[in-house]
């Protein structure tokens, strides 16, 4: 897709085109006038093999919905999810099965994502069991191995999730996610619920795992400093659309979309000299409802640069610099 | 990334001690979920006492009636309304052996008893002096008079002096006394337990199967399926149970059957609502999503993830439904809609006891105690189960 062959890992693992997920939120008494919440509304995205793609955006902009649609917990309203030669968006549940093991997810809440009635061994062995890999004994051996990999030990296998701290539970969740050697791991706020000190540990572990297992991460967060640390590229979402996507440095050093600039301006900066002077980057107002989206550019209600053109025409995601795509009429 | 050079002195870097990490663990032995539940249940004394009581009650209801020659329908009008405990008097005629007796102060009858409290029979009065309000009994050369000129009635000798009692005795023939038709209260009580517990358990089972199935489907599928199913539940829930039982009685004649059917077909709505609510909230839990991303089948999600996590509330609801079923049955029988004579349930026993409340208030004690103790026991057990099943309460 991208014409810059200089990057070694340019091979696209997952190609997402015009992906939409609309939730029906209300209907008349006999089903007329249904209203739709456009949580994801036309996302184009390439996830390259071996990279960590960060995804940021305000709460409610559709990051989790995008993640859950990519992993087919939701069936998309429209669009294409090309992965390993198949279009996941069109597949029926039973045809998805062979692809399930290649995409795994690490969830935000390490308390809710582990079934409290199962012990650690059964939790981590479950994906193996469903995929029909090995027998009971070899699965147990694999569980012990995975526990070591994520920094726990095999004595923990018989314990139950409630006996562990949040960070340890997240390690269990990670062990479960990598049990089948997936190609793509989606981390939806995987570290947001953890203590700051534990966050760093878990992030480092995720990076190590990536090197060892050749994983690709889609790393969703609203912690801009963490995403900078871990990502190779970062995508910025606003109201169900990708508004800017660029390599890590480019995004931080040369943000082109007014929304990205506003987001970066909102990071608390310890050094007051470094603090941004241009108040121009501050956003105005509240995020509009995803049910009644503004016409044209959806950021125009809060954009300091908005003009009539912005209200009339929706800007397309265009490549303005090397690997740097922006959806704004006035970006350059 | 921008190059930031931060120098940290080398000696400040040290590997993390693995032991420090493990110190986070509570050194509790590793238990499976149900082992853990059993342990916590065991430590809950009121719940265990309740469980013991319930088991004893069930055993007594099953085997008790077999161990006695009394039956629940045998009447003996001569021995009616005998209390379980009475005051024994002794008279010593010079020409015959000593006589023990007790006075039933409710009907002024005198009964011959053995010294240990066994009832030998009703004694016939020699004469009745209606002017003085005395019944005169003669044993050999001794005379005993029941004086009811003043209530409560007293026993006096021939000269009009009060006879001293030799103390209280436990009724050895009918441990709980007899009712107004001379039937053994204990046996009727145990038969009542059979009926009441049967109604309760049948109702509970019907609740369990219909409720879990119905609620499970509504909750898991959600949407319009859920909408329609829950409207039906609401309609059923608005039918007054009393009306329903009366209708059933018309159809089935038997009070017993109609009570079971009525309770069974109305009570499950609570269970269905609870299971549905559980399913609705649990199916959106991340661990269910995780199972889906692994490709788990619907069956696996239901049996491995959803049902085990609903089992706690289901069990608790079930144990708490039993006492209310017992109560409803007792209430229905009490107002005359329940089992018919000579069958007995705790409700009919209560109703019978209420008829003789003025003369023999003690007769109300046993059925009332049975109903309240059993309800207490099931409630304690239900609460204990709820606590034990909640892993967050684990110490
Ligand atoms: N199952 C659903 N049904 C209806 N609306 C939904 C559903 N899931 C999400 N939404 C809505 O879609 C929008 C996007 O939600 P989403 O959870 O994807 O946001 P997010 O970017 O992940 O936010 P956060 O940072 O808070 O996690 C929100 O307005 C949300 O209310
Ligand atoms: S298109 Fe217009 S409104 Fe949208 S971000 Fe650019 S300048 Fe702002
Ligand atoms: Mg989210």
**How does pLDDT run across A303-319, given as a tens digit for each residue?**
888 899 999 999 999 99
Residues B277 and B385 in one domain: yes
CATH number at residue B309: 1.10.3720.10
Residues B336 and B242 in one domain: yes
Q: Is B47 part of any domain?
A: no
Rounded to the nearest 5°, which phi and psi values hold at A318?
Answer: -120, 150
Residues B359 and B308 in one domain: yes
Shortest Cα distance, chain B CAs vs residue A113, angstroms: 4
CA of A39 to the centre of ligand 1 (A): 6
pLDDT in tens, A192-235: 888 888 888 889 999 999 999 999 999 998 888 888 889 999 99
Residues B161 and B191 in one domain: no
Instruction: Provide residues with CB under 6 Å of ligand 1.
Output: A 23, 37, 39, 57, 59-65, 222, 290
Shortest Cα distance, chain B CAs vs residue A329, angstroms: 28
- Does A131 sit within 8 Å of B295, measured CB to CB? yes
Hey, is A74 helix, strand or coil? coil
Model confidence at B128, pLDDT cuts 50, 70, 90, reads confident
ipTM > 0.95? no
In the predicted structure, residue B266 carries a pLDDT above the cut 70:
yes
User: Of B334, B370, B392, B380, nearest to B41 (Cα)?
Assistant: B380
> Residue B324's domain spans which residues?
185-393
pLDDT in tens, A124-166: 999 999 998 889 999 999 999 999 999 898 888 888 888 888 8
Structure confidence at residue A183 (pLDDT): 94
Average model confidence (pLDDT) across chain A? 87
Residues of chain B in contact with residue A184, where contact means CB-CB under 8 angstroms, are: none
- Does B2 sit within 8 Å of A163, measured CB to CB? no
Q: Domain A12-102+182-326 adopts which CATH fold?
A: Rossmann fold (3.40.50)
Count the neighbouring beta carbons within 10 Å of the beta carbon of residue B304.
20
Count the neighbouring beta carbons within 10 Å of the beta carbon of residue B140.
13
Residues B202 and B101 in one domain: no
In the predicted structure, residue B59 carries a pLDDT above the cut 80:
yes
* Closest-approach residue (CA) in chain A for B395: A163
Partner-chain residue, chosen from A96, A151, A159, that has the shortest CB–CB distance to B30? A159
Model confidence at B320, pLDDT cuts 50, 70, 90, reads confident
Residues B299 and B161 in one domain: no
Residues B251 and B370 in one domain: yes
Mean pLDDT value across residues B267-281: 89
Residues B209 and B330 in one domain: yes
* Closest-approach residue (CA) in chain A for B287: A113
Closest residue to atom 1 of ligand 2, CA basis: A328
Structure confidence at residue B393 (pLDDT): 57
- What are the residues whose beta carbons fall under 8 Å from the beta carbon of B100, sequence distance 6 or more? B88, B89, B90, B112, B113, B114, B115, B166
Burial label, B1 (beta-carbon count in 10 A; 0-12, 13-18, 19+): exposed
Model confidence at A7, pLDDT cuts 50, 70, 90, reads very low
CA of A273 to the centre of ligand 2 (A): 29
Q: Does A162 touch chain B (CB under 8 A)?
A: yes
Structure tokens at B200: 């309760």
Q: How far is residue A179's CA from residue B290's CA, in Å, rounded to a whole number?
A: 13
Distances (CA, A) of A50 to A10, A190, A199, A209, A289: 9, 19, 22, 11, 35
Q: Is B285 part of any domain?
A: yes
Residues B227 and B256 in one domain: yes
Residue to mutate among B20, B27, B32, B287, with most A CBs inside 10 A, is B287
On whether the CB atoms of residues B140 and B59 are closer than 8 A, the answer is no
Read off the pTM. 0.74
> Using a 6 Å cutoff on CB, does residue A297 contact ligand 2?
yes
Q: Does A249 touch chain B (CB under 8 A)?
A: yes
Residue to mutate among B1, B29, B292, B294, with most A CBs inside 10 A, is B294
- Does A130 sit within 8 Å of B286, measured CB to CB? no
User: Of A133, A89, A126, nearest to A104 (Cα)?
Assistant: A126
* Mutation choice for ligand 1 from A54, A55, A62, A243, CB with most ligand atoms inside 8 A: A62
Residues B225 and B328 in one domain: yes
- What are the residues whose beta carbons fall under 8 Å from the beta carbon of B240, sequence distance 6 or more? none
Structure confidence at residue A268 (pLDDT): 67
Q: Does B25 touch chain A (CB under 8 A)?
A: yes
pLDDT in tens, B189-213: 888 888 888 888 888 888 888 998 8
Residues of chain B in contact with residue A171, where contact means CB-CB under 8 angstroms, are: none
Q: How many domains does chain B have?
A: 2
CA of B92 to the centre of ligand 1 (A): 95
Partner-chain residue, chosen from B26, B32, B290, that has the shortest CB–CB distance to A163? B26
Strands of the sheet containing A241-247, edge to edge, are: A103-106, A184-188, A216-220, A52-56, A233-238, A241-247, A324-326, A318-321
Q: Is B116 part of any domain?
A: yes
Mean pLDDT value across residues B113-138: 81
- Residue A236's Cα: distance from chain center in Å? 10
Residues B276 and B386 in one domain: yes
CATH number at residue B130: 2.40.128
CA of A61 to the centre of ligand 1 (A): 7
* Mutation choice for ligand 2 from A239, A243, A258, A293, CB with most ligand atoms inside 8 A: A258
Structure confidence at residue A29 (pLDDT): 61
Residues B298 and B268 in one domain: yes
- Does A115 sit within 8 Å of B305, measured CB to CB? yes
Parallel/antiparallel/unpaired status of strands A233-238 and B154-157: unpaired
Domain range annotation of chain A: 12-102+182-326
Shortest Cα distance, chain A CAs vs residue B301, angstroms: 11
- Does B292 sit within 8 Å of A73, measured CB to CB? yes
Distances (CA, A) of B244 to B131, B225, B264, B268: 56, 27, 11, 15
Q: Does B307 touch chain A (CB under 8 A)?
A: no
CA of A80 to the centre of ligand 2 (A): 27
Model confidence at B151, pLDDT cuts 50, 70, 90, reads confident
Q: Does A130 touch chain B (CB under 8 A)?
A: yes
Model confidence at A272, pLDDT cuts 50, 70, 90, reads low
Closest residue to atom 6 of ligand 2, CA basis: A328
Structure confidence at residue A179 (pLDDT): 93
Q: Does B39 touch chain A (CB under 8 A)?
A: no
Mean pLDDT value across residues A20-35: 78
> Using a 6 Å cutoff on CB, does residue A305 contact ligand 2?
yes
Measured from the Cα of A108, ligand 1's closest atom is: 27
């Amino acid at each position: 897709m991208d014409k810059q062959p200089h990057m070694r890992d340019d091979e696209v693992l997952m190609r997402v085109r015009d992906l939409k997920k609309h939730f029906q939120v209300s209907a008349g008494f006999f089903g007329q006038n249904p209203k739709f919440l456009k949580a994801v509304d036309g996302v184009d995205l390439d996830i390259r093999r071996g990279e960590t793609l960060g995804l940021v955006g305000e709460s409610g902009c559709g990051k989790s919905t995008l993640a859950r649609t990519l992993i087919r917990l939701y069936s998309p309203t429209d669009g294409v999810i090309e992965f390993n030669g198949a279009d996941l968006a069109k597949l029926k549940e039973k045809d998805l099965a062979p692809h399930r093991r290649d995409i795994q997810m690490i969830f935000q809440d390490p308390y809710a994502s582990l079934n409290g009635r199962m012990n650690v061994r059964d939790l981590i062995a479950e994906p193996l069991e469903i995929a029909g890999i090995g027998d009971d004994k070899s699965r147990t051996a694999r569980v012990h191995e995975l526990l070591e990999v994520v920094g726990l030990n095999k004595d923990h296998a018989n314990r139950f999730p409630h006996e562990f701290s949040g960070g340890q539970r997240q390690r269990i969740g990670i062990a479960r996610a990598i049990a089948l050697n997936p190609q793509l791991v989606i981390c939806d706020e995987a570290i947001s619920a953890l203590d700051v000190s534990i966050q760093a540990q878990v992030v480092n572990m995720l990076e190590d795992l990536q090197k060892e297992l050749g994983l690709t991460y889609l790393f969703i967060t609203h912690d801009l400093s963490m995403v900078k640390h871990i990502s190779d590229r970062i995508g910025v979402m606003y109201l169900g659309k990708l508004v800017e996507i660029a390599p890590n440095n480019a995004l931080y050093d040369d943000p082109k979309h007014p929304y990205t600039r506003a987001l970066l301006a909102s990071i608390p900066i310890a050094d007051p000299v470094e603090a941004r002077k241009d108040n121009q980057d501050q956003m105005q107002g509240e995020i509009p409802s995803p049910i009644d989206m503004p016409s044209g550019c959806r950021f125009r209600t809060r954009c300091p640069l908005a003009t009539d053109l912005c209200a009339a025409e929706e800007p397309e995601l265009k490549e303005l610099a090397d690997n740097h795509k922006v959806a704004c009429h006035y970006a350059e | 990334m921008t190059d930031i050079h931060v120098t940290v002195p080398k000696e400040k870097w040290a590997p993390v001690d693995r032991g420090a990490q493990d110190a986070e663990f509570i050194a509790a032995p590793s238990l499976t979920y149900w082992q853990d539940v059993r342990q916590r249940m065991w430590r809950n004394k009121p719940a265990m006492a309740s469980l013991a009581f319930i088991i004893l009650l069930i055993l007594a209801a099953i085997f008790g009636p077999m161990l006695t020659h009394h039956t629940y329908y045998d009447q003996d009008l001569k021995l009616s309304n005998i209390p379980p405990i009475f005051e024994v008097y002794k008279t010593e005629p010079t020409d015959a052996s000593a006589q023990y007796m007790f006075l039933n102060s409710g009907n002024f009858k005198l009964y011959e008893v053995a010294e240990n409290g066994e009832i030998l029979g009703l004694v016939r009065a020699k004469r009745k002096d209606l002017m003085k309000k005395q019944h005169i009994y003669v044993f050999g050369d001794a005379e005993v008079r029941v004086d009811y000129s003043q209530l409560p009635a007293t026993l006096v000798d021939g000269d009009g002096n009060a006879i001293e009692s030799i103390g209280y005795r436990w009724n050895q023939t009918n441990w709980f006394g007899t009712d107004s038709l001379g039937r053994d209260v204990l046996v009727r009580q145990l038969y009542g337990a059979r009926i009441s517990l049967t109604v309760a358990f049948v109702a509970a089972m019907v609740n369990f199967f219909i409720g879990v199935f119905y609620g499970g489907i509504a909750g898991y599928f959600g949407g319009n399926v859920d909408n329609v199913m829950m409207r039906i539940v609401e309609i059923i829930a608005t039918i007054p149970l009393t009306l329903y039982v009366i209708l059933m009685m018309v159809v089935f004649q038997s009070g017993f059957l109609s009570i079971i059917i009525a309770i069974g077909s109305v009570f499950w709505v609570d269970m269905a609502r609870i299971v549905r609510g559980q399913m609705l909230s649990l199916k959106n839990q991340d661990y269910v999503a995780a199972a889906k991303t692994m490709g788990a089948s619907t069956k696996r999600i239901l049996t491995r993830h959803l049902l085990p996590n609903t089992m706690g509330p289901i069990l608790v609801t079930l144990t708490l439904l039993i006492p209310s079923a017992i109560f409803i049955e007792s209430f229905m029988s009490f107002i005359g809609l329940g089992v018919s004579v000579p069958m007995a349930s705790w409700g009919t026993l209560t109703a019978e006891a209420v008829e003789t409340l003025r003369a023999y208030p003690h007769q109300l004690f046993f059925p009332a105690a049975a109903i309240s103790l059993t309800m207490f026991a099931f409630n304690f057990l239900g609460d204990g189960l709820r606590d034990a099943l909640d892993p967050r309460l684990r110490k």
